Structure 1
């Protein structure tokens, strides 16, 4: 073969590497000797020695002086799964608790990278694009609130991810995007809460709505279903809109709290409204029962809140296990959409 020594070395390297990666030689098996390889591939011995040293540096073989070269178990790079959350640092958040369950259930050979999307859809979209370019193997994401992507944005995401990069949405979904989806069925949680409240004689229920449209829709559906079941009258003025300004919610609640005997709302919001709630001097739970949603900061209310517990463990575990199963090709092609029914945790309120 009339080629230069550099080309001969590359030629031999490529052949031997292909043979090693295709399992021609078993792990621990000794390769042919330098002399035999020189004869087999018509290259000089110094070229063989150079190539074997290169293969050793690549972690494919080990060489022992006077004994030869032996096949190593191939090294595998850990696979990246990206988590796109609004805020992965703050404690006492549903997102953070789900992330903890994702981290605890990562398999060996995988690592989790964290990305803050700042509740901004463009940041969310650009982060996914960068991750795809970097070779990410799967993405677990909470889509930003308060924005509904249009058809062209949905099409772009589907085209970007293709059929090779699994996407798992948690808490919120984006309609039309090819993704698995795990969340909570808050409708069933509200039904459980109203069933319990009705059993202890509560009839005038105030609902402080969630800040996510998915959960608002489910809250109202659950409340309507339970009201029909137990012949309860739901007064529209007892349905309070979420507001970032807690003082505004407090003013509205203060104007009706003397009329109600039960309040259901996000636990963060209820904890912030303790002053208003306590200002009525109503006794818990005889005169006023309170049910929180999420069960993240329930113990910061005094006494601790009865709560619709967000199924953080179910969501986190299923999200990461599904992402890994998709990477490894061990799942049927049908995409999973599951809303877990939350538990109702009865406490002193």
Structure 2
């Protein structure tokens, strides 16, 4: 997989560190559902620390003595962080859950709803991330470029987390698609297919970003034949390039996650897209927004700690680390953001 390229950054003269720890990396899920306050399902707003979503689900399942599949959730949250999210269980467990205790999980509130939470039932996530070793001048530059990215758009790459440590899952995915590796487990097979699609998407997006940079532009260059997603959720390829609608964010250009039964680009846009397309892949294809727009950016600088807290909201399926990469103008890996103790931080 090639390097992720970006349109805007603070430049090579500025650097900062961030760590995926419970105090430095906080994620709050933004639900897309307005819970009714009545119904046969209990909605739990939960906070977890240093646990994956699956770990948390397993703990609740064991406590209630139910299969994990009986617990609904909207999305997966980082392990090395403090995160909040919504889960659903049958309302008959309400009394039992009043006595629930776990040192890494806290039930913040409960309500009722008419149906279980399903995967994807979220609008996005709110992030609060501490950037370390930032002086007050650089803090201003970071905030300025963050707001410029929010205005012009952030390339919507899949982050390094998608591909596993040392990108080992990419190799597995390629071997499976080429018939060199047999995978029996259906969940693992579907996961590896999504990895295969994601690599193509990221490489396509890199080419499109580089095309923009070659034209000395900082706003993603649109091409004849691009496929757009409207704010109503519809895909289309307008006959006339929709510059006005694009600039007003009513239409967002998309990239291909290759597979069957999916709308493909045309004309100039297709010339680049077809290099990252596997038309023989039998799994369902999708289109993913090429750009996203971070919202509600807030910056708080703590001079004594040379710390800048950056808070922002992103739509579902996008990565906070991609936003940080764009600001820094560099790629990160799991190794770069590994939790460090206070002494290790001080030596950096």
Same fold (TM over 0.5): no
Larger RCO, structures 1/2 (Cα 8 Å, 6+ apart): 2
Higher strand proportion, which one? 2
The TM-score with structure 2 as length reference comes to 0.24
* Structure that is richer in helix per residue: 1
Q: Give the TM-score normalised by the residue count of structure 1.
A: 0.24
